[in-house]
Amino acid sequence: MSWQPCGHGADPASDPVGCRGIHVHGHTACLAHLTDTERTAYLTGLTPGADIDHRGTPFTQELLEALLNALKNPSTGKPQLGRAMFYGAQFFGNAPFLDVQFSNDAWFQGVQFFGDARFSRAQFFGNAEFVDVQFSRRAMFVGAQFSGDARFTRAQFSANAIFIEAQFSRDAWFVAAQIFGDVKFDRAKFEGVSVLGPMVCAGQVALSGTVFVLPVTLEIAAREVVCERTRWESTATVRLRHAAVNLSHAVLTAPLSDVP
């Protein structure tokens, strides 16, 4: 931990550190443990596009919604964040990042989502860092746009991971990702991805209607891989383990190699 922790609830016997949340600037507690008056003053002082740093902070759904509402751009009606630091934070209840615009890098390394993680239609204009994240329930990135690199290295998805109609303009890292439900990339577009995986999925990997622009290698261990109407605009190498594959009506504009 590279920051001074809040320390709320510390106990020398059972938990000498206490709350790991970083101090809000000018205070000696994290956002979750400010007084109501202090928290209101902090949120009122935020403006759309502000950089935020809430590393290690425990968020209830209500607290997260209050933060995002304070960052809402009145011209778009959408929360707008600058550089967003949530490293090691914990989200209890659902995490409604719906329609959020991240104008700079978004750091979610080591985060724990205990409810649904809802990033549908979110826009990431910088890099999106979800390394070592634990998604205890659904991870929903429907229609999300990743303009920078999207890193889900070693992410653990305990339920379904849903990236339907997501757009990846640069690289997307799912190296050593583990999905215990299904992962759905239907109608997603991968413009800058040369390798997808290696990932392990206990259920189905759905790539129906997905577009791959660059030469790409798929490395997937799953029960089933569905590639109906998938479009490969360049060469593709498919390395599958344990998986039945469905390539119905796939569009191949270059050779496709199937490597066991």
The answer to whether residue 100 sits within a structural domain is: yes
The answer to whether residue 1 sits within a structural domain is: no
The answer to whether residue 85 sits within a structural domain is: yes
The answer to whether residue 210 sits within a structural domain is: yes
Question: pLDDT band at 234, cuts 50/70/90?
Answer: confident
pLDDT digits (tens, 9 = 90+) for 176-216: 999 999 999 999 999 999 999 999 999 999 999 999 999 99
pLDDT attached to residue 259: 46
pLDDT at 24 over 90: yes
pLDDT attached to residue 179: 97
Question: pLDDT band at 19, cuts 50/70/90?
Answer: very high
User: Which of the residue ranges 51-65, 99-113, 147-161, 238-252 would you say has the lowest mean pLDDT?
Assistant: 238-252
The answer to whether residue 3 sits within a structural domain is: no
Distance separating alpha carbons of residues 146 and 143, to the nearest angstrom? 10
Distance separating alpha carbons of residues 223 and 212, to the nearest angstrom? 22
Distance separating alpha carbons of residues 177 and 2, to the nearest angstrom? 26
Q: Which of 176, 138, 185 is nearest to 157 (CA)?
A: 138
Strands 150-151 and 216-221, bridge-based pairing = unpaired
Per the model's pLDDT, the better-predicted residue between 98 and 258 turns out to be: 98
Structural tokens at position 206: 């759905």
Contact 150, 124 (CB under 8 A): yes
Q: Which of 87, 97, 133, 86 is nearest to 114 (CA)?
A: 133
Residues 6+ apart with CB under 8 A from 13: none
pLDDT attached to residue 147: 98
pLDDT digits (tens, 9 = 90+) for 2-14: 888 998 887 788 8
Range of the domain at 132: 49-259
pTM (global) more than 0.75: yes
What single string gives the DSSP state of each residue in the chain?
Answer: --S-B--TT-BTTTBSS---PBPPTTSSS-GGGS-HHHHHHHHHT--TT--EE-TT-EE-HHHHHHHHHHTEETTTTEEEESSEE-TT-EE-S-EE-TT-EESS-EE-TT-EESS-EE-TT-EESS-EE-TT-EESS-EE-TT-EESS-EE-TT-EESS-EE-TT-EESS-EE-TTEEESS-EE-TT-EESS-SEEEEEEESSEEE-TT-EE-S-EEEEEE-SEEE-TT-EESS-EEEEEES-EEE-TT-EESS-EEEE-
Q: How many structural domains comprise the chain?
A: 1
Map tokens 């991968």 to a residue.
190
Q: Which of 151, 133, 145 is nearest to 169 (CA)?
A: 145
pLDDT digits (tens, 9 = 90+) for 64-103: 999 999 999 999 999 999 999 999 999 999 999 999 999 9
